[in-house]
Amino acid sequence: MSGIVLTFPILAGKVEAWRRFCQEMAGSRQNFYETSRQRLGITRERLALVDTAFGATAVTTLEAPNVDQALGQIITSVLPFDIWYREQLLELHGIDLAGYEQFTKPTALPPNQEVHFEWSHIGQLEDQIRSVP
């Protein structure tokens, strides 16, 4: 399972509209929301409101077996709920996901990358599973 945390500032005067957006996803649009997330493979999504010195910010946590693929599908989907979702991000955050289409395609890691630290509990679990007779 992979995950990502996205932070988007909420535009001035849009905090109540952002709250209504969340209420719609939990209420009148819940069936569409759940269908969308199941289709995308998203297993958990959490939206939190954080007040900062710079204004309100939405913190979104997504978990999915393939977060890159799920985000790519959110960006490119032509299904009505996904279009509505992207319109809300534009209205509430000023974020136009159409500008991120380049991220829907896998890219190779830069050859000059220096990894200084990496940890994964998954690897430890895989080792434990392999060692069980």
Task: Return the CATH class of domain 2-107.
Answer: alpha beta
Tokens read off for 126: 């895989």
Q: How far apart are CA 121 and CA 133, in angstroms?
A: 21
pLDDT tens for the chain, residues 1 to 133: 788 899 999 999 999 999 999 999 999 999 999 999 999 999 999 999 999 999 999 999 999 998 888 998 999 999 999 999 999 999 999 999 877 766 666 656 677 777 787 665 655 555 545 555 5
Confidence at residue 27, expressed as pLDDT on a 0 to 100 scale:
94
Confidence at residue 25, expressed as pLDDT on a 0 to 100 scale:
95
Q: Are 73 and 67 in contact (CB under 8 A)?
A: no
SS3 48: strand
Q: Using a CB cutoff of 8 Å and minimum separation of 24, what contacts does 17-24 make?
A: 17/91, 17/92, 18/49, 18/56, 18/58, 18/92, 19/49, 21/88, 21/92, 22/47
